[in-house]
Amino acid sequence: MARKNAVLVLMSIELILNAVNLNFVAFALRNGNADGHTFALYIIAIAAAEVGVGLGMVLLIFRNRRTISLDDLSEMKG
Amino acid sequence: MVAQNIGFAIIATIMVVGALRVVTTKNVVHAALWLVVVLAGAAAQYILLAAEFVAVTQVLVYIGAVMVLFLFGTMLTRSRIGRDSGLNNSYAKLGIPVAVVLFAAMSLALADSFGTEKMPTDGSLVSTQQISDQVFGPYLLPFWALSFVLLAAVIGAIVLARKD
């Protein structure tokens, strides 16, 4: 685990999804049809929903534990 | 060198530097701002790829909504806006050389098999009407499923975050 902040982990997930989106749109240009654009739009929508729910969970964890450092949230570890 | 190639090179460099700064900076708000740089760079790449609808959607949804969510989340969880304590990954000495070797192997495989050929494009650009034909045509079922996912996400976020 390289980052401890849960919000930073969610930001890294956004980076991954953007990389996939770039691939989809680039190959849509290669193929000449709109399938890649459609899937990229769906991925954008899914990513927004995921960030909403993820940040809701982070908020709830902060409210209960007063910390969002993933080192302190390790009760299920090992 | 065509102007698009130069534009692509500049935007790609900015995006790579921004993405590296997202994961290495010690300040959470700085990471969010570098993520805005990366997302804006992606939107610019979509414009270069003649995907203007996806580019505008990217700006509206990602930079306009998702980044605001991140900044609010940082504010409300009082993630230390000052210095964090940095990376605690003890396998970085092994991981970074492996990643570099993997990158070199994949680049070599690409360059060796394709050489200087250019990717053949179909030549036809995609218009927004084609995108809507696809969304409300063959991909209608994922569109409905997506609306349910968004509804569930909104309800779930409200249930999780409300105080009662």
Question: Nearest-5° angle of CA A73, CA B96, CA B30?
Answer: 55
Asked whether the beta carbons of residue A48 and residue B146 sit closer than 8 angstroms, the reply is no
Is the residue at B112 inside a domain?
no
pTM reported for the whole predicted model: 0.86
Is the residue at B102 inside a domain?
no
Asked whether the beta carbons of residue A7 and residue B62 sit closer than 8 angstroms, the reply is no
Domain that holds residue A14: 6-65
In this predicted structure, the answer to whether residue B4 has a pLDDT above a threshold of 90 is no
Minimal Cβ distance to B160: which of A21, A50, A57 = A57
Say how many residues make up chain B: 164
Could you give phi then psi for residue B125, rounded to 5 degrees?
-85, 155
Is the residue at A41 inside a domain?
yes
- The predicted pLDDT at position B26 comes to 83
Is the residue at A71 inside a domain?
no
- DSSP-derived letter for residue B120 is P
- Give burial (CB, 10 Å; 0-12/13-18/19+) of B15: buried
Is the residue at A74 inside a domain?
no
Confidence band for B20, pLDDT divided at 50, 70 and 90: very high
Is the residue at B18 inside a domain?
yes
In this predicted structure, the answer to whether residue B15 has a pLDDT above a threshold of 80 is yes
Is the residue at B93 inside a domain?
no
Q: How many domains is chain B partitioned into structurally?
A: 2
- The predicted pLDDT at position B116 comes to 77
Is the residue at A10 inside a domain?
yes
Number of CB atoms found within 10 A of residue A33's CB: 16
Asked whether the beta carbons of residue B79 and residue A2 sit closer than 8 angstroms, the reply is no
Q: How far apart are CA A45 and CA B136, in angstroms?
A: 16
Let me know: does A48 contact B154? Beta carbons within 8 Å.
no
The H or E element spanning position B132 is helix B128-135
Is the residue at A72 inside a domain?
no
Q: How many domains is chain A partitioned into structurally?
A: 1
Counting residues of chain B whose pLDDT is more than 70, the rounded percentage is 89
Question: Nearest-5° angle of CA A12, CA B111, CA B40?
Answer: 30
Which pLDDT tens digit goes with each residue over B109-125? 988 888 777 777 666 88
Q: How far apart are CA A46 and CA A61, in angstroms?
A: 22
In this predicted structure, the answer to whether residue B69 has a pLDDT above a threshold of 80 is yes
Which pLDDT tens digit goes with each residue over B33-56? 999 999 999 999 999 998 999 999
Clarify whether residues B77 and B137 are in a common domain. no
Clarify whether residues B72 and B137 are in a common domain. no
Is the residue at B95 inside a domain?
no
Asked whether the beta carbons of residue B89 and residue A2 sit closer than 8 angstroms, the reply is yes
Q: How far apart are CA B90 and CA A64, in angstroms?
A: 29
> Among B82, B117, B145, where does a domain finish?
B82
Which A residues in the span 18-47 are in contact with B, Cβ-Cβ below 8 Å? 18, 21-22, 25-26, 28-35, 37-42, 44-47
Number of CB atoms found within 10 A of residue B51's CB: 29
Is the residue at A23 inside a domain?
yes
Clarify whether residues B78 and B5 are in a common domain. yes
ipTM for the assembly: 0.90
Minimal Cβ distance to A7: which of B79, B88, B160 = B79
Domain that holds residue B74: 1-82
